[in-house]
Structure 1
Amino acid sequence: MEYQIKRSKRKTMVLTVLPDGHVEVRAPLKTPAELIERFVRSKQDWIAEKQALSLQRLSQRDALLAGPVRQLRLLGTHWPADSRSNQQPAFDGRAFLLPPGTLRELQPGIIALYKQLAKGYILSRVQELSGHTGLTPTGVRITSAAGSWGSCSGKNALSFSWRLILAPPRAIDYVILHELCHTREHNHSPAFWALVAHFMPDWRTARSSLKALAEELRLEGW
């Protein structure tokens, strides 16, 4: 069985089956190769099960990308898609207006639309929540980050993934508040979470919904 080894200053070995089915082993720096090999062999049944699930999900995603666009997500809601119009992707408040084509063909244009919608909505909410909390960023931008919903730089500049526009409004507010709180607390200390809870007592519920959404978006090819 082929697998990739990533060594670091850690104390235990961890095995991961990546979304594409590849196997990755994270191990302490001086772990002997023979010990890693035995560790992987001991997990063969588990690996086979996870790889089969990964292949099934990849097949489902490919089928989705190869088909027509029937609906698209925005602000936590699925909206119908009208693919009869010969124009660039747009949203009229009731439906997405799309040119004919498969999701794979239309995805670049849809993403460009999502970025535009994200910029308008998220920047407006940052301004509103900044005024409410008294926490002011030095700047705000929309990015294509896939590994995180948002971030705060050491100079208090905020960045948000365009994918955040797909989440429900309450979850979007949580991410914005999370990053605004980082302008005061550049860590995840108890003081930081206390600040988040002060402005959003139910932040845990919003965070859980984001974890579920992230998995759905990955399966859908976003």
Structure 2
Amino acid sequence: MASTVSDEHNKEEYSFIYGDEAVSYEVLRKPIKQGKKRSITIKVQPNCDVTVSTPEDAELEDIHQAVMKRAKWIYDALKEFRGHLEYVQPKHYVSGEMQFYLGRRYVLKVVEDADALPAVKMTRGKLLVTLTRFNDDKTAMVKALVRNWYKVRAQRIFHERLSELLPQATWVDGIPSFRVLPMTKQWGSCSAKGNLMFNPHLIKAPKECIDYVILHELCHIAEHNHSEKFWRWLTSVMPNWKEVKARLDGMAELYLNE
């Protein structure tokens, strides 16, 4: 086992060898408040980033030893998360594919029923899509039905969460309007006039992640850029936003995949 270091742009990055693989990790040094326990914390994010939080004066040897003690755990966690990412493939909208809703996985099931109208509903861990008949447009029809189902659900859930969270955003006057519109690289946005826009794919994420995006955009009504003041606003209404953001970012490829 070995360790290497790269201090490019003041970013502390190290690596260790486990088996036949070099595993990289980033060290985040933080000041320790009086009375707080000095400890080294290791996290493996869903996007396969490994971060090590340490006291700002921690010795490199102590950091490396702490990492090596948990080397197998880190490797196993990376293996699990990589397994999740392997499933990110273009969808064909056929029975057996995986869909997400509010952080839970559902198996897509497509059925034909000549006596029924085209519809989508959740039932017993499945997302059931019913078509009147199968034809050459089957894939396109299933995709359109599923996409519309997500949009309708997103409108309702986002409205509910916005109403629930607004009392925390004391700087917001009235109820801001919002639209649900697909975006390729953003979960949400806020216009200069305070109008909000949310990505319908966000409905696939857990409610805590939805709340993070809504609160993030509400904070932009008070502060339009990502200034230090903005992050203070966000921390005041969601102290654990960094962990929630990492969770959402780690699953982004799966949620945005269609």
Structure 1 and Structure 2 fold alike (TM over 0.5): yes
Q: Is the 8 A contact 2:202 2:255 kept in 1?
A: no
Secondary structure of the residue aligned to 2:106 is: strand
**Distance between the aligned counterparts of 2:140 and 2:89, measured in 1?**
10
**Distance between the aligned counterparts of 1:163 and 1:66, measured in 2?**
16
Following superposition, the deviation at residue 140 of structure 1 comes to 1.1
- Stretches of structure 1 that go unaligned for 5 or more consecutive residues are 1-56
Provide the alpha-carbon RMSD of the alignment. 2.7
In the alignment, what sits opposite 2:144? 108
1:61 aligned residue (86, 89, 110): 89
Point out the structure with max Rg over C-alpha: 2
Q: Which amino acid aligns with 2:148?
A: A
Following superposition, the deviation at residue 210 of structure 1 comes to 1.7
Q: Is the 8 A contact 1:69 1:103 kept in 2?
A: no
Trace 1:14-163 onto structure 2 (pairs within 5 A).
61-62=89-90, 64-65=91-92, 67-84=94-111, 86=113, 87-91=118-122, 95-99=126-130, 105-134=141-170, 135-136=172-173, 137-163=175-201
Structure with a larger share of its residues in strand: 2
Report the CA distance shift for 1:66/1:170 in structure 2 as closer, same or farther (over 3 A): closer
Q: Is the 8 A contact 1:85 1:97 kept in 2?
A: no
Report the CA distance shift for 1:129/1:160 in structure 2 as closer, same or farther (over 3 A): same
**Distance between the aligned counterparts of 2:159 and 2:124, measured in 1?**
19
**Distance between the aligned counterparts of 1:78 and 1:105, measured in 2?**
22
Report the CA distance shift for 1:211/1:108 in structure 2 as closer, same or farther (over 3 A): same
Report the CA distance shift for 1:93/1:149 in structure 2 as closer, same or farther (over 3 A): farther
Secondary structure of the residue aligned to 2:156 is: helix
**Distance between the aligned counterparts of 1:91 and 1:67, measured in 2?**
16
Following superposition, the deviation at residue 175 of structure 1 comes to 0.3
Following superposition, the deviation at residue 66 of structure 1 comes to 6.5
Trace 1:130-209 onto structure 2 (pairs within 5 A).
130-134=166-170, 135-136=172-173, 137-209=175-247
Kindly provide the CA deviation profile for residues 16-51 of structure 1, in whole angstroms up to 9, marking residues without a partner as x. Answer: xxxxxxxxxxxxxxxxxxxxxxxxxxxxxxxxxxxx
Q: Which amino acid aligns with 1:88?
A: A
**Distance between the aligned counterparts of 1:166 and 1:156, measured in 2?**
25
Following superposition, the deviation at residue 189 of structure 1 comes to 0.3
Following superposition, the deviation at residue 108 of structure 1 comes to 1.6
Secondary structure of the residue aligned to 1:99 is: strand
Following superposition, the deviation at residue 90 of structure 1 comes to 2.4
The TM-score, its normalising length taken from structure 1, stands at 0.65
Q: Which amino acid aligns with 1:90?
A: K
Kindly provide the CA deviation profile for residues 178-197 of structure 1, in whole angstroms up to 9, marking residues without a partner as x. Answer: 00011111110000001100
**Distance between the aligned counterparts of 1:210 and 1:92, measured in 2?**
25
Report the CA distance shift for 1:83/1:138 in structure 2 as closer, same or farther (over 3 A): same
Q: Is the 8 A contact 1:65 1:104 kept in 2?
A: no
Secondary structure of the residue aligned to 2:119 is: coil
Secondary structure of the residue aligned to 1:98 is: strand
**Distance between the aligned counterparts of 1:155 and 1:161, measured in 2?**
19
Aligned residues: 163
**Distance between the aligned counterparts of 2:106 and 2:93, measured in 1?**
19
